[in-house]
Amino acid sequence: MRKSLLAVPVALCGLGLAAPHAHATLNPPKAINFSAGPLGTLSAEGVLSAAGTWQSNPVGLTGPAAYGTDRHTRLDITNAEMILQKTTGLVQFFVMAGSYNFPTLGEPILPTPSVPYYYYGAVPEAYITLAPTSHFSVEVGKLPTLMGGEYTWSWMNQNIERGLLWNSENAVSRGAQVNYSMGPVSASLSFNDGYYSNHYNVLTGLFSYALNKNNTASVFFYHHFGSTVINDTTLNHVYAAPENLDNSDIYNLLYTAKVGALTVSPYLQYIYAPSSVKLGPGYTHSDHAFGAALLANYHFTPMWSTAARAEYETSTGNPAGTGTGTNGGFTNNNLLGYGPGAKAWSFTVTPTFQDKGFFTRVELSYVRVTHSTAAFGAAGTAPNQVRGMIETGLTF
């Protein structure tokens, strides 16, 4: 979902298909089920959490003034969301509403009140599901992504912050999706608007195979048809739709293995951004980006666990540019947000305590960027950033 500021679910479907995302550390209580008359049995659940942050080398004022300033310290709400869903019968639905934030490695942490306005609104996910059989379903609406090894919402992930690779992936799309599962095989195909661009010309697909109850392999693709010019001034949610990534082809290869109390999830990411005369000077050449991540989570006891993540990403392109105009005057694509040809790596560790619906977790992360034209600090010249966070909250 990267719209780089440095340069400027719960169920995936009614079938309960196996998700490629890494195993979540938090284990929310069972949803509250209740009868809703002609609607049948519905379930409700929610989350309320806040986090305090300290970081080195903040980048200063970013984006519109409503964003405020990226600071050394911040205390803010990370999740204030309610979920209402129906998971039985022919007609099912899912609605998530509330406020949220996306703490992400290598990016400024924005004030929570501005995030829904500039991204996916107060109802970030909402879709209707038609499930004629237990093996097949169709979904229409604001859908969660099929892409990547991490979920969009922090309380569903093993780490507080999303990773570098996640920041190049879409999070929510508007469109239609078909799902099929039979035995160890599950598949989903979606025709949608990609990175929330409001242009319906993207096909995505996820195919998963469960080797056994502890090992699953998944392949994902994202294909964009044609070239879509995204004018930020015409979009209500301007930072959800990065033009360069929306117009790319993206592939993931994921594997999740569980051995006793340890869950390990390595995954690979490849991005191809074709050249385009229609899109302008920043797309003179085709470019590529490659990323690799390893996510691990170990439960010492039912209440105590520790998660860790290591990542590396690299991109092609000539970092020389004028610094002004389209894409900063670059003739190459700025796929990673730090300038064409940039490279980055990160490490994150997150000890977690959970007692029923209450949780607290502490996180320490480090990001280093090389071959960049803009990284960290007020001048964009600092190559690294250290961040410490503590998050506490309730799931119910």
pLDDT digits (tens, 9 = 90+) for 243-288: 889 889 999 999 999 999 999 999 999 999 888 877 777 777 889 9
> What local confidence, expressed as pLDDT, does residue 151 receive?
94
| Closest listed residue to residue 163, CA positions, set 361, 394, 355, 387 | 387
pLDDT digits (tens, 9 = 90+) for 81-115: 999 999 999 999 999 999 999 999 999 988 999 89
Tell whether the model's pLDDT for residue 77 goes beyond 60.
Answer: yes
The answer to whether residues 326 and 7 touch, using CB atoms and an 8 Å cutoff, is: no
| Closest listed residue to residue 232, CA positions, set 7, 394, 20, 31 | 7
Tell whether the model's pLDDT for residue 22 goes beyond 80.
Answer: no
Mean pLDDT value across residues 123-143: 98
Q: Give the pLDDT band (50/70/90) at residue 54.
A: very high
> What local confidence, expressed as pLDDT, does residue 61 receive?
56
Strand, coil or helix: 246: helix
> What local confidence, expressed as pLDDT, does residue 9 receive?
35
> What local confidence, expressed as pLDDT, does residue 184 receive?
98
pLDDT-wise least confident of 36-40, 75-79, 123-127: 36-40
Mean pLDDT value across residues 345-374: 96
> What local confidence, expressed as pLDDT, does residue 17 receive?
46
pLDDT digits (tens, 9 = 90+) for 377-394: 988 899 999 999 999 999
Q: Give the pLDDT band (50/70/90) at residue 28.
A: confident
> What local confidence, expressed as pLDDT, does residue 235 receive?
53
Tell whether the model's pLDDT for residue 331 goes beyond 80.
Answer: no
Tell whether the model's pLDDT for residue 18 goes beyond 50.
Answer: no
Q: Two tokens at 296? A: 């691990």
**Rounded CA gap, 345 and 314, in Å?**
9
> What local confidence, expressed as pLDDT, does residue 237 receive?
63
The answer to whether residues 180 and 136 touch, using CB atoms and an 8 Å cutoff, is: yes
**Rounded CA gap, 18 and 133, in Å?**
17
pLDDT digits (tens, 9 = 90+) for 156-197: 999 999 999 999 999 999 999 999 999 999 999 999 999 999
Q: What is the pTM of this model?
A: 0.90
> What local confidence, expressed as pLDDT, does residue 24 receive?
67
> What local confidence, expressed as pLDDT, does residue 229 receive?
82
> What local confidence, expressed as pLDDT, does residue 346 receive?
99
Question: In the chain, what are the domains?
Answer: 32-395 (2.40.160.10)
Sequence-distant (≥ 6) Cβ neighbours of residue 212 within 8 angstroms: none
> What local confidence, expressed as pLDDT, does residue 2 receive?
52
Number of H helices, E strands in the chain: 2, 19
Q: Give the pLDDT band (50/70/90) at residue 318.
A: confident
pLDDT digits (tens, 9 = 90+) for 114-129: 899 889 999 999 999 9
| Helix or strand run (H / E) with residue 207 | strand 202-212
> What local confidence, expressed as pLDDT, does residue 330 receive?
56
| 105-114, 139-148, 366-375: range with highest mean pLDDT | 139-148
> What local confidence, expressed as pLDDT, does residue 58 receive?
92
For the residues of 325-386, what is the DSSP string, one character each? Answer: SGGGG-SS---SSS-TT-EEEEEEEEEEEEETTEEEEEEEEEEEEES-SS-BSTTS-B-EEE
